[in-house]
Amino acid sequence: MKSGLLRRAMRPSAWQGRAVPDAAAILGAIAVPVVVLDAEDRFRSANAAAEQFFQTSIASLSQMGLADLLPPDSRIFAVIAQVRHLDARVSDHDLTLDSPRLSRRGVTVHAAPLPELPGGVVLTLQDGSTAQMLDRQLNFRGAARGASAMAAMLAHEVKNPLSGIRGAAQLLEQSAANDGDRELCQLVQDETDRIRDLVDRFDMFSERPVELGPVNIHQVLDHVRRIAATGFAAHLRLAEDYDPSLPPVWGNRDLLVQILLNLVKNAAEAVDPLAGEIVLTTAYHHGVRIAVPGSPDRVHLPLQISVRDNGPGIADEIRGTLFEPFVSTKRGGQGLGLALVAKLVADQGGLIECDSRPGRTVFRLSMPTPPPGSFGTAQ
């Protein structure tokens, strides 16, 4: 009875002549990705949120099928098949949609049959990767704060005694009776210098004010590319995929150069020396809004800068802690480079995330645009 009343209430006549938006307008306004597939899993309809989710225009989606975006063993095809078999709604959670063209994790899929289209299925896709990314970013910022506290402690508690140890070793070397003793004294000095250098590297994590302004990210990327092409990545293929209409990034040019050089150098060390490829990309997406600590404001991060390589990928066991201090994929690595990258990105109000599988690793920065009323030309 109630369902019948609800259906009658939803009829246009129940709204006493008021204008009712058509279904296409309502679908386009929904913030959750919604697509309609026909019996052959080809896209028949999609809203604007789906365009962003698949990172493909609606015009392109209309010429494609779901199999053009995802491998046939993806769990989403099993969900669609179950909907058609049961002629009922089916939901699945925590799906990974991964392919060369798409990488989404933690996706919830709601699928339902569409009686008006034989074999048709309506998919609603809820992307949980954004929430996971924000959780990871909070962890990265916590790790950076922990590293900052450790830097201050090390500078105060370690560097002063090190000076005394080195001085004592120099005095002992002057009065050493034989070459063996002098060699041991020199060893003490060398190890003391090594520890001092490590402490100096931690000093980079200390809290310092960051001057922000509009930055032309393509000029930054071109600068990084030239450095890489004439140095550590001279033997690799460096490609670009830029959105020329991208507005300036709100950040610090020197820090962005440092961040991207670190990421490109890591990629160059990870790929095959003969068949390695690094791709630098920029894109504009609606992004996410994050709360600013201590403020009711929420920051929009629509600018995405990515460094992609075709290396072997990052092991699952360290992916979740990749940006924490002392976590490294390199033999003999100290695990401070990516921890510093995470801190520098956070200092500029941005987010960093990593998607990795064999043959495709992407480090993606999400950065803000200049706030309203900001002045000055892009750096």
Per-residue pLDDT of the chain (379 residues; tens, 9 = 90+): 333 433 444 455 555 666 666 777 777 778 788 999 999 999 999 988 888 888 888 888 989 999 999 998 999 999 999 999 999 999 988 888 877 777 777 788 999 999 889 999 999 998 765 555 555 555 555 555 555 666 666 666 676 777 788 888 888 888 877 888 888 888 888 888 887 777 766 665 556 678 899 999 999 999 999 999 988 899 999 999 998 889 999 999 999 999 999 999 999 999 999 999 999 999 887 655 665 444 455 567 889 999 999 999 888 777 667 776 655 565 544 556 787 888 888 888 888 888 888 888 999 998 988 887 765 566 6
pLDDT value of position 262: 92
DSSP per residue, 204-254: GGS------EEE-HHHHHHHHHHHHHTTTTTTSEEEEE--TTPPPEEE-HH
CB 111 within 8 A of CB 94: no
State the amino acid at position 198 in one-letter form: L
Question: Of 130, 342, 362, 367, which is closest to residue 247 (Cα–Cα)?
Answer: 367
pLDDT value of position 7: 42
Tokens of 228: 């890489």
CB 34 within 8 A of CB 53: no
Residues 328-373: pLDDT tens digits?
565 544 556 787 888 888 888 888 888 888 888 999 998 988 887 7
| Phi, psi angle pair for 63, to nearest 5° | -100, 10
Strands (E), 288-373: 289-291, 298-300, 303-309, 351-357, 360-367
The DSSP bridge pattern shows strands 237-241 and 277-284 to be parallel
| 106 CA to centre of own chain | 15
Spatial separation of the C-alpha atoms in residues 305 and 251, rounded to whole Å? 13
Tokens of 55: 């990172």
Spatial separation of the C-alpha atoms in residues 327 and 334, rounded to whole Å? 7
pLDDT value of position 1: 38
Cβ neighbourhood burial of 230 (10 Å; 0-12, 13-18, 19+): exposed
pLDDT value of position 42: 95
Spatial separation of the C-alpha atoms in residues 248 and 83, rounded to whole Å? 46
Spatial separation of the C-alpha atoms in residues 379 and 370, rounded to whole Å? 12
Region at 189 (left for phi over 0; alpha for psi -120 to 50; beta for the rest): alpha
Spatial separation of the C-alpha atoms in residues 83 and 110, rounded to whole Å? 10
Question: Of 318, 314, 309, which is closest to residue 362 (Cα–Cα)?
Answer: 309
State if pTM tops 0.75.
Answer: no
3-class DSSP state of 178: coil
Spatial separation of the C-alpha atoms in residues 284 and 61, rounded to whole Å? 19
Helix pair angle (253-270, 337-347), 10° resolution: 150
